[in-house]
Structure 1
Amino acid sequence: MKIAKPTRRQVLAGGIAFSALSVLGSNAMADDGPVRWIVGYPPGGATDTIARLLSAPVSSKIGQTIIVDNRPGAGSSIAAAALAKSRPDGLTVMAVDNGTLIINPVAYSNLQYDPDKDFRPIGLYAEVNILLAVGKDQPYKTVAEFLQQAKASPNPIAYASPGIGSPLHLAMERLARDAGVKLEHVPYKGMAPALTDVLAGVVPSIVIDYTTAKEVIRSGDLRPLAVFSESRLAALPEVPTFGEQVLPGFSAGAWQGMVVPHDTPDDVVDRLTEALAFALQDNGVKKRYDELGLGIPASSAPQAFSKRWQDDKAILQPLIRELGIKLGQ
C-alpha cells in the first residue's frame, strides 16, 4: 500500500496544532503523576507533621496523590535548592518558613537558590506560636519580673533556643533590643535538647514553640511567661502577650507556607491555592491545629503570603546583619 506524503500545508498545520497543544500543556497542571511535597526538615518534626496533615485534603481537592519528600539539612536550604531546579509543572511544591525565605539568604554566603527569583508563593498555611518560658523552679512569675531582673542584674539572663539564626532566636533578640535589656543566648541543635536543659535547670529560660512545649506546660514543669503573638492563644488563655504586659504593639513569630518554582503558570498556582484554602477549612485539620497550638492565617492567598514575606524580610534581614549571624557557606 502506497502512503501519500503529506503536503507542505498539512505539515505546517500539524506543526501549528502541535505548538498549540504544547502551549496548553505548559499552562495546565500535569496530572500524570504524584505531587512531590518537599520538606526541608526530618520526619516527625513540626514542619513535616503539618505538611502530612494538610496533604490528605489537598490531595483530595486536586485529585492527585501527594508524596512528602524529606530533604533535611542546612536550615532547609538543601531542599530549597532542589525546588529551584524542579520543573514548573505543579508536580513539585515545598514547605517553607521564615528561615527558608528570609534568614538563609543573609546567613548563608553561598546559597544555591534565590527566594525572590526562584519561587512563587501559593499560600501561608500555619502560624507557629512561640512563647517565653522558664523552668518551674525559677523565681520569675511574670514577664515583667523577668525583664525587670534582666535590667537590674549585672549578668544577663540566659535563654535557650533551637539554634542561631532561627526565627525563635531572632524573636528574642528583637525582644531584648526593644525592651532595652541584655540577654545571653544559649543555642542548641534543635528544640529537644534545649528544652531538656531548661527542665534540668541548666538554663533558666527558653524561647519555644507551643507545639513542643504544651505537654511540659500542662505538667507544670515549664512556666510560660508571655506569648509573642498579637493576641492570646486559645490553648493558653491565661498567658498574656508581650504587647499587653511590657511592649505595646510588639509581636513576633514563625510561619509556614507553600511555594512552587517561579515559572509555574497562573492556572496551576490558582488550583493549588484553592486546594490549600480547602484544606485549611477541613474540620480534621482545624481540630489538629488546635491540639498543636497552631494558628490558621487570616488569609492563605498568594498576595497575603507575599506581603507577610516582604514585611518580615524588612524587619529580620537588617537584624541578622546587625548581629553578624553566619550559618555556613
Structure 2
Amino acid sequence: MAGKVSRLLRTAAGSATLAWSTLLLAQPALPPGPITMVVGWPAGGPSDAVARLVSAQMSKALGQSIVIDNRAGAGGNIGTDVASRAKPDGSTIMLATVASHGLNSALYSRLNHDPIKDFAPIGLITTSPGVMLVPKDSPYRSVQDLIKKARAQPGQLNFGSGGVGSSQHLAGAVFRKLANVDVAHIPFKGTAPAMTDLMAGRVDFVITTGALPFIRSGKVRPLAVAAHQRLPALPDVPTFDEAGVKGFYTDSWYGLVAPANTPRPALEKLNAALNQALRDPELHRQFSEQGSLPVKPMGVDDYWTFVKKQMPIAAEQVRISGAKVD
C-alpha cells in the first residue's frame, strides 16, 4: 500500500511540474522574434553540436526560433564578452561551459566580464566526459602503449586541443601529469581543426568531449574514457582508471545563461523550455550519440548552485596543468 501511495505521489509531483512548465511557457515573458544563442566556439565542434541540438527542441517549446551566433576565440571569452553586454530582456542567451564558467576565471590573468555577476542562470543541459582519441592508423592500441612510447622518447609525442586553456588542453595537461609523461601541446583555433589534424595523423592524440561522431567516422579510435564508469555508448572502451591512469576524470558540462538583470519571468520561461526539451526522448538519443550524458532537469536556482560548486573544481584543473594566459 505504501509503495502504491509513493508511486501516486511521484506521478502527481511529475504532473504538477509538467503543468507548471506548460503554464510558464504560456506566459508572454519574452520579447517577440528570434532569440540569439551566443556560442563562444566555432561551428562543427562539441559545444556547437550541443547548442544546435538543444536550441532546435527549445524553439519548438517556445514557439520562437533560436539563432546560433558563433563568436569563437580566446577560449570562449569573445562570445562571453558579447553575451555579457547584450540587452537583458531574454532575447539573447549564451551556451555556458566549464570554460566560460570555471576554467577561464583561473586561467586568464584578466577577464572583461565576471562569470557570476554579469550573468543570470537558465539551466543545465548535459555533461560529457572526455575520450582519448588516436588516429585510426595509430600504432597505439592502448593507453599503456602510448605511455610506454612517450616515456621512451620524451617530448616526441604530442596532443592537440581547441586552444590554450581549452578543455582539451587542460585534459591533456592533467593526463601528462598523472601519467608522468612528456608530451607536447599543439593548440588549434577550435576543436574542429584539431580533430582534422588528428584524423589526418598529424596529431598523436586528443582528449575531447563529443567524440562519438568522430569515432563512428572510422577515422579515429578511442583508447579510454575520463569518467568514473564506462560510457553506455562505448561499452568496450575502458576508463582511465581501468587503463592504469588512476584518478583521471573530466566532466565538461553545458548549460544556458542570460545577461545579468534579465527579468526572472524570462529566465523561468527559458528554463521551462529547456527542461521540456530535456524530457524529449529524441534529444536523449541525440546526446547519447554525441557521447554526452542526460541530466535531471534543474530549476534556475539549483543550476546556479551547481555552477558555483563546479568553479573551484575547474580552477584546480588549471592549477594542476600549470597553464596561464596573460
Query: How far is 1:122 from its partner?
Result: 1.3
- What number of residue pairs does the alignment pair up? 300
- Partner amino acid for 1:297? V
Query: How far is 1:210 from its partner?
Result: 3.8
Whole-Å Cα distance in 2 between the matches of residues 327 and 70 of structure 1? 22
**Are residues 1:279 and 2:282 paired?**
no
Whole-Å Cα distance in 2 between the matches of residues 304 and 149 of structure 1? 45
| Alpha carbons 2:174, 2:320 under 8 Å: kept | no
Deviations 1:204-262 (A, max 9, x none): 22223344x634x3454422110113322222211011133324453103221100123
Secondary structure class of the residue paired with 1:176: helix
Which consecutive unaligned segments of at least 5 residues does structure 2 have?
1-26
Deviations 1:31-72 (A, max 9, x none): 444332222234444333332322233233334343333333
TM-score w.r.t. length of structure 1? 0.78
1:70 alignment counterpart: 70
Query: Cα gap change, 1:193/1:260 in structure 2, threshold over 3 Å: closer, same or farther?
Result: closer
- Partner amino acid for 2:141? K
TM-score w.r.t. length of structure 2? 0.78
- Partner amino acid for 2:258? V
| Alpha carbons 1:122, 1:258 under 8 Å: kept | yes
**Are residues 1:50 and 2:50 paired?**
yes
2:61 alignment counterpart: 61
Whole-Å Cα distance in 1 between the matches of residues 155 and 51 of structure 2? 42
Whole-Å Cα distance in 1 between the matches of residues 129 and 108 of structure 2? 26
1:261 alignment counterpart: 259
Whole-Å Cα distance in 1 between the matches of residues 298 and 258 of structure 2? 15
Whole-Å Cα distance in 1 between the matches of residues 319 and 233 of structure 2? 35
**Are residues 1:90 and 2:90 paired?**
yes
Which consecutive unaligned segments of at least 5 residues does structure 1 have?
1-26
Whole-Å Cα distance in 1 between the matches of residues 217 and 161 of structure 2? 21
**Are residues 1:187 and 2:177 paired?**
no
Query: How far is 1:155 from its partner?
Result: 4.5
Query: Cα gap change, 1:204/1:35 in structure 2, threshold over 3 Å: closer, same or farther?
Result: closer
Query: How far is 1:143 from its partner?
Result: 1.7
Which of 286, 289, 294 aligns to 1:288? It is 286
Query: Cα gap change, 1:137/1:235 in structure 2, threshold over 3 Å: closer, same or farther?
Result: same
Whole-Å Cα distance in 1 between the matches of residues 55 and 192 of structure 2? 26
1:176 alignment counterpart: 176
Percent identity over the alignment?
A: 37
Query: How far is 1:29 from its partner?
Result: 2.3
- Partner amino acid for 1:228? A
1:111 alignment counterpart: 111
Query: How far is 1:94 from its partner?
Result: 0.9
2:202 alignment counterpart: 202
Whole-Å Cα distance in 2 between the matches of residues 73 and 203 of structure 1? 21
Whole-Å Cα distance in 2 between the matches of residues 318 and 162 of structure 1? 20
Query: Cα gap change, 1:70/1:191 in structure 2, threshold over 3 Å: closer, same or farther?
Result: closer
- Partner amino acid for 2:275? A
| Alpha carbons 1:94, 1:259 under 8 Å: kept | yes
| Alpha carbons 1:28, 1:89 under 8 Å: kept | no
1:230 alignment counterpart: 228
- Partner amino acid for 2:128? V
Q: Bigger CA drift: 156-165 or 223-232? A: 156-165
| Alpha carbons 1:167, 1:253 under 8 Å: kept | no
Larger Rg: 1
Which of 267, 270, 285 aligns to 2:268? It is 270
1:157 alignment counterpart: 157
| Alpha carbons 1:276, 1:300 under 8 Å: kept | no
Whole-Å Cα distance in 2 between the matches of residues 71 and 199 of structure 1? 25
Query: Cα gap change, 1:74/1:149 in structure 2, threshold over 3 Å: closer, same or farther?
Result: closer
Whole-Å Cα distance in 2 between the matches of residues 99 and 143 of structure 1? 26
